[in-house]
Amino acid sequence: MGTSVLSLRIDRELLERLRDHAAKRGMSVQDYVVRTLMRDDFDERFQAAVEETERFYGVT
């Protein structure tokens, strides 16, 4: 799997909040953001799978 670069422009306040959250977890801001995006992506895919299963079995 290759990697790519994503550049973001964010305001100072948001960056400070990200730094605080990352530091609490002993992570870099980059690792914290990537992990958060991956978790959100998993949550969305999991919810879609649950909804599809419910439609398949006719659960409302």
For every residue of 8-40, which 3-state class applies, written as one string?
Answer: CCCCHHHHHHHHHHHHHCCCCHHHHHHHHHHHH
Tokens 């977890």 locate to 25
Interval 6-51: pLDDT, tens: 888 999 999 999 999 999 999 999 999 989 888 888 888 888 888 8
* pTM (global) more than 0.75: no
Neighbours of 32 (CB within 10 A): 19
Integer angstrom CA distances of residue 6 from 3, 9, 32, 33, 34: 10, 10, 14, 11, 11
- The gap between the terminal CA atoms of the chain, to the nearest Å, is 39
